[in-house]
Structure 1
Amino acid sequence: MTGYLLRRIPTAVIVLVVASLLIFAVLRLIPGGPEVALAGPDASPEALAHLRHELGLDRSFVTQYFTWLAGVVTLDFGQSYQVGGDIGDLIGYGLLNTIVLTLSALVIAVVLALALSLAATIFDNRYVNALLTGVNAAAIALPTFVVGTILMFAFGVRLQWLPAGGIPPNGLGDSLSITAQFLLLPALTLGLPAGAMLARFLTEALRTELRQPYVVTARSLGVSRTAIVLKHALRNALPPTLTALGLIVGALLGGAVLVEAIFGWPGLGLLTQEGIFARDYPLVQVLVLLSVTVFVVIQLLADILHAWLDPRIRLAGAS
């Protein structure tokens, strides 16, 4: 396992370095600049030039990049141009809200995937398969903003069973029941498509396992299909599904941007949107790099867990 880690970690580091360079470069291709957003459209060229000098934007690209990268490595993210305040403090506040939302959506996705996959595998008839396929396809095909709008209108506006947006007035830690009410709609919106995608991976993995020789032997000995799926096939289908789960967690982080905007959930997604609209380079750079870092780390952990569960993975790379 140590050898496998030594092979995977350098790749992850290279990905992060390349990502940081691309993020820093691409943001500077956006028309306009932070000095225009700060000074206003009627600012004189002299005022814009002075502001660019104050912000350090008149230095060379290489100098700006390495100065920013050094700050990121030392966790000195600097100040926000437009949103205001220390970037580390802004991220600290939004990160907790995003983690709570993403973990809740992940729980919903895993439960939904297990329910759909096990039902499709155990109750193997055309009516159940048709129903589950329809539910799965609808969850994947409907855009997130459509699902969020429907849930908000139905349960938040029309029926008024749940809050239509925002967070509890006294924070997430005030009351578990109140927090759950505010969290349910955005977590469902984010978790439904992820659960449907994960269900496809798990269902295919289970059906592949059911074609293996050990299943034929077990069925000939009188073991029920349910027992085979739950006790043997599910355990063997989990390793490849974990890799898919790592990708789906990355999709959850990306989808959180839109979901937080729909429901007014003050997390990193909503903060990223505000930073982009305001051309707040320092804030957006750190937020996007943080998203890439989380995605890479989660994928690395998923690969490590996959290799730990399936020795063939780590031994194949050593040959």
Structure 2
Amino acid sequence: MSNTSSSPRLSRRTFQFAALLAALGASQASWAQNYPVKPVRLVVPFPPGGGTDMVARALGQKLSERLGQPVVVDNRPGAATIIGTEAVVKSAPDGYSMLLSGSTSFTVNPALRANLPYDPVKDLAPLAIVARAPLALVVAASAPWRSTRELVAAARAKPRDLRYATFGSGSGPHLAGELFALAAGVELQDVPYKGSSQATLAVMAGEIEIGIDTVATIAPHVKSGKLRVLGIVGATRSSLLPDVATLSEQGWPEATFDAWYGFAVPVQVPAPIQQRLVSDLQAVAADPALQAQLRAQGMEPVQLGQQAFAALMQTEIARYRNLAQRARIVAE
């Protein structure tokens, strides 16, 4: 009897729950149809003027045209991008706060830092990767090495005698340098500098032997004859230096390190809004004028959607975690 009497109640509750879900779904769909009704904040966890900021302003302008609302770049640098990334993770999940950052936020920090105040994999919904910024391995024009193999031979002859500039423990140049050292079977000494300009000047002056920086940063100095580029660290050649082979082409595929730029929102942002943003970002990234602008700034336009972005995050986190253990890298 108890089963018979409880059945109508369960049916009513099931119906009420289904009705509630349907109402929520309809509400989200309606909300997404009206989105956006106000400016969208694009958080960049770096200072103005850098590569990420340039990508943000270039794509932000085009994205604003498609959304019909201003896209306002909000620079929030500090703590190895943790400050800006956390600001987005903890923002209202309504699609009005987006993150534009690179591997530091999405893969390097979770691989190297055990106590992040968020989990990028669980707390962020990746939307699209729109560009790569190839890194290059350089030495001073006055240095004796004219090829990567000559540099490797010198490093093997005197372990840890050759030094390379980084932007601190766990930075992109640090990881790229360690990947190269492991792939080539040599020992190099990392030396931290405060930033790209200081490190580049140190290499040109002969204060330090090796530099690893973005092509956009080093290309003018290569063309002026102050730096010699030995190889591209990324997966593909650079449009600015098309004659320079990648380290992979030179025999060290495991040394590949790509800097890239991707958009994300809090994971709770409704799926229809995520899909709208993905669609608009893909359209913007396909614009030929924008692609030409990115190439002129030393970047390579790409179009990777949500699934490819998420898969890349998982792959890189595992790779950099393994690298940190092998090279005993501890993020500062």
TM-score bucket of the superposed structures, by smaller chain: under 0.3
TM-score by length of 2: 0.27
Instruction: Name the structure where helix makes up a greater proportion of residues.
Output: 1
The answer to which structure has the higher strand fraction is: 2
- Of structures 1 and 2, the one with the larger relative CO (CA 8 A, separation 6+) is 1
